[in-house]
Amino acid sequence: MMERRNFARSSVAALVALGLAAAPAVADEIEAEEVIVGEEVVAPAAPCPECAVNNGSVSIAVGNDFTNAYFFRGILQQKTGFIWQPWGEINWNVYEGREGDPISAVSVTAGTWNSVHTRQLTGAQNGSGPGNWYESDLYAGVGMGMDNGLSAGATYVAYMSPNNAFGSVQEIDLDVAFDDSQYYGGEMDNLGFATNPYLLWAFEVDKSRFGSNSKKGIYMEAGIEPSVTVNQQSDYPVTVGVPMTVGLSLDNYYLPNDRPDGSNPGDDVFGYASVGLGVGVPLAFIPARLGSFSVGASGQWLALGSNLQDFNNGPANGVVGTKTNPQEGRFGEWIGVASLNWQY
């Protein structure tokens, strides 16, 4: 499984995916009439729930996130107006191991993630796309799952701005995750409890998302996503999660632009920390032959390091020491997300 949508910058999709995994199979029941074969009356076949489910090696997913603010790894992008963040990806399961094999699965994933804003930002002009199309990213990678619950992936990401709000940035991401649900028994097992720890490393290979300095940075993210699923026997199981994340600079990732006098505070190892609460539920009333639909919602509190507070508080070019709006530089930020997703 690919990097658990760390790329999507939202835990809602991950929570919804957990809810879908816990949901019982729901499909249209096919009514059949009795059939007479010779002199024998043959009873109708039983409904076939799995017949309406995609059991192939290729799957697709499409999502729509709606948020009040867009922070990329703690870096403020936009927090006014309406923000719509649609994404879509295709996943090809190229290998499935047998029971006992050390490698249980290998998959290839490609997708796109976008951010559309009703309020245009300073500098968003002369781009090739519509003026409100702030960001359009492309990513592709390979993921590997192991029998012991470990998974790992490598992803290439190109961050692009159709309205020219920022220059294109390229990076290579590596991630490792662990499904620890196997270690919990009793009531915790009945609730599908897991903490889902993960690590992500991002290596910028062309330009930087922070400031305009030419130095390319290395970013590290560590997190857990404790979650439980209640009402599992229902068609509408509810997955509740509490994602917690810390974003760090391993090398020049949060290095700001120089001050007007030419000085620079240097890189800040601590970028941000966040904690959230989210819920996800499948929409089981929609026929399974149309795919799996789900909805989710989350709230998240974001705490920023000193360089990010200065950067988010400055003008468009992010020069530290030139604060213009103290409200933008406060220590904590609240982010809300609503999501509608489809998988097949």
Identify the CA nearest to 243 among candidates 5, 7, 10.
10
Low-confidence ranges of the chain (pLDDT < 50): 1-9, 16, 19-33, 35, 37, 50, 315-324, 326-329
Per-residue buried b or exposed e for 254-293, using 16+ beta carbons within 10 Å of the residue's own CB = bbbbbeeeeeeeebbebbbbbebebbbbbbbeeebeebbb
Secondary structure element (H or E) that encloses residue 240, with its range = strand 238-241
pLDDT of residue 313: 74
pLDDT of residue 69: 92
Report the C-alpha gap between 340 and 13 in whole angstroms.
9
Residue with tokens 């719509």: 84
Neighbours of 50 (CB within 10 A): 9
pLDDT of residue 80: 84
Is residue 39 domain-resident? no
Question: Torsion angle, CA of 262/263/268/274, rounded to 10 degrees?
Answer: -70
Is residue 34 domain-resident? no
Provide the domain count of the chain: 1
Report the C-alpha gap between 74 and 303 in whole angstroms.
8
Reported pTM:
0.82
Is residue 211 domain-resident? yes
Is residue 94 domain-resident? yes
- The residue type of 113 is W
For 75-127, give the DSSP string: EEEE-SS-EEEEEEEEEEEEEEPPTT-SEEEEEEEEEEEEEEESSPPTT--S-
Is residue 226 domain-resident? yes
pLDDT of residue 256: 82
pLDDT of residue 9: 45
Range of the domain at 158: 12-26+49-343
Is residue 164 domain-resident? yes
- Which CATH number covers residue 186? 2.40.230.20
Is residue 43 domain-resident? no
Is residue 5 domain-resident? no
pLDDT in tens, 69-110: 999 999 988 888 899 999 999 999 999 988 878 899 999 999
Tokens standing for residue 69: 């603010």
pLDDT of residue 29: 42
Question: Alpha carbon of 156 to those of 60, 106, 214, 266: distances in Å?
Answer: 19, 17, 20, 28
